A and B are shown apart, each in its own frame.
Chain A
């Protein structure tokens, strides 16, 4: 069974963390993963940096640019992750834009992910219909899940379609925005969380974008199975460093 499915058994609320591979320093990828696992994080999205991350706000743009400057690239990330499954048990998801994956060669990319023990992918600019038509078979062959985003603007009909094509989880973007930390959620968000919960989808939902503290984490996980934190974690990492990661995780779970 895919590690992601394993995680969603039971009804524990999950905390997932996103960070850019090779940030703050090139060789920090694996140390960050280890710290996150020790701190009790349920899942990690490892960001594959891209020069033009058009769905990301300033914080992730900056960490992505810095990671590229540090020398991060697809092959480098794979070599860092080789053998990672001896130490890391939690689900690992690669999140990145489609172009670097396409240049690497999608088939080769999937093979490498499988051999490392990557559980799934999130590719914001690969639309669900293109995936369904051209890539799903390949991903399935390599045991890779592909997770899709929905937003408050996504129609019920399209959500049903995404639910049908999805495995793992559905990534609920909290509001119509690029990535970035917010301090609170308004009524629009809570209405949207409730609307999705009432749809009783087959795939579990996880909320991301705009989650930065215990309050937003609580609000996000009230009607969903978990939450993903990216920008707020990256800011913390920049200020406090890899060593202090458990402090951040505790502040969210409190």
Chain B
């Protein structure tokens, strides 16, 4: 089976471009151009150069000695938390801003939940001197004040999404409406592997640098360019897509995907899409998402703002349905405990999203000779308030 996108923009049963006609010209322009633009040597050169001198790539592949001893296996952390702006998100925004420039776009819009993608977008817009508007749910603006301030410092305009549940999915709706209203001069930088084709594939390709580096880094340390397991957390699923990308069709590599169970899968306050999601059309693609029996999209919950998107991208829906990936759901409490464990055993304070992934070490066994690569997707600075409240620090 092939786990990459097909010619029509589908991953198995999922994906496609279910968009109103008003968006057709914008999305079609992207679809026709994204492969040729990103394959262009000049584009590649500029992209690689910025990733190196601006983002700080390659990020280290770090052998976690103490953790490996404790769990009697060989654990590596791909240190995306060391990227400029604090997470993997910037790999994608660098790629998309270069693409937008080549399409002659003068204005950038983006959606953000916790604010990480908003900050990464505001950053590249500042870098290129392009107008930037970030849509953010009114509730999230209140919950994520430091990231709102960062976006403003970077010169972006933060527009509150006041419709629906006033969170990430509504910010996404507002960004799409903006794009409908501004079809010619605007590029929409989606932050995850969601949305209509070609977005899931395009974002995955920009994030693929994560597994591209992992391959040669493992070759150096382990003498083979593949691990036995790759493990990542998913909200929409961009950091996971990046870590999996070059291993998708390599059956030697087991894929483990960690979702946020929130207060528990049956609690009614969860973001465990694989367990709770059904086949849905939202934000332009067919995927797995949480909804009511009547087909209304429901609000997810996780202590981690970056994981409380109600669905996963179509690539992950396909990995789940085809059983290419193992899915694990981790409740808030275990994720928070792992935030502390990783801090005290390896000296790395992870984002709460990232902390979810490490809970896979308790959920299943790994052999002593097995090589396990985690995507350490983001740093925990942005989550300090949540950690302080939770642990009474």
A interface residues with partner B (beta carbon < 8 Å): 50-55, 57-58, 61, 65, 68, 73-75, 97-104, 124-128, 130, 148-151, 153-155, 158, 173, 176-178
Distance (Å) between the CB of B18 and the closest chain A CB?
5
Name the one of A51, A103, A148, A177 contacting B164, with C-beta atoms under 8 angstroms: A51
B291 adjacent to A99 (CB under 8 Å): yes
B281 adjacent to A98 (CB under 8 Å): yes
Residues of B within 8 A of A97 (CB): 281
Residues of B within 8 A of A104 (CB): 294-295
B180 adjacent to A177 (CB under 8 Å): yes
A176 adjacent to B295 (CB under 8 Å): no
A55 adjacent to B22 (CB under 8 Å): yes
Q: How many residues does chain B have at the interface if contact means C-beta atoms less than 8 Å apart?
A: 34
Residues of B within 8 A of A124 (CB): 20-21
Residues of B within 8 A of A173 (CB): 21-22
Query: For the complex, is B262 an interface residue (Cβ under 8 Å from A)?
Result: no
Name the one of A73, A74, A99, A154 contacting B21, with C-beta atoms under 8 angstroms: A154
B177 adjacent to A153 (CB under 8 Å): no
Query: For the complex, is B181 an interface residue (Cβ under 8 Å from A)?
Result: yes
A73 adjacent to B294 (CB under 8 Å): yes
B24 adjacent to A103 (CB under 8 Å): no
Query: For the complex, is B17 an interface residue (Cβ under 8 Å from A)?
Result: yes
Name the one of B20, B21, B173, B295 contacting A100, with C-beta atoms under 8 angstroms: B295
Q: How many A-B residue pairs have CB under 8 A?
A: 110
Name the one of B16, B181, B284, B291 contacting A178, with C-beta atoms under 8 angstroms: B181
Query: For the complex, is B296 an interface residue (Cβ under 8 Å from A)?
Result: yes
Q: Among residues 286 to 311 in chain B, which have CB atoms less than 8 Å away from a CB atom of chain A?
A: 291, 293-297
Distance (Å) between the CB of B309 and the closest chain A CB?
13
Distance (Å) between the CB of B215 and the closest chain A CB?
37
A153 adjacent to B25 (CB under 8 Å): yes
B18 adjacent to A125 (CB under 8 Å): yes
Query: For the complex, is B163 an interface residue (Cβ under 8 Å from A)?
Result: yes
B181 adjacent to A176 (CB under 8 Å): yes
CB closest residue in chain B, given A74: B294
Task: Name, among A54, A65, A100, A151, the residue most crowded by chain B CB atoms within 10 Å (CB to CB).
Answer: A54
B18 adjacent to A98 (CB under 8 Å): yes
Residues of A within 8 A of B297 (CB): 51-52, 99
Residues of B within 8 A of A128 (CB): 21
Task: Name, among B169, B173, B181, B294, the residue most crowded by chain A CB atoms within 10 Å (CB to CB).
Answer: B294
Residues of B within 8 A of A61 (CB): 163-164
Name the one of B177, B183, B278 contacting A54, with C-beta atoms under 8 angstroms: B177
B21 adjacent to A52 (CB under 8 Å): no
Add 4 more A-B contacts to A55-B20, A102-B295, A103-B294 (CB < 8 A). Answer: A54-B177, A99-B280, A99-B295, A178-B180
List 3 A-B pairs, minimum CB-CB distance, nearest first: A103-B295, A100-B295, A51-B296
A149 adjacent to B281 (CB under 8 Å): no
CB closest residue in chain A, given B174: A54
Docked pose: A127 CA to B23 CA in angstroms: 10
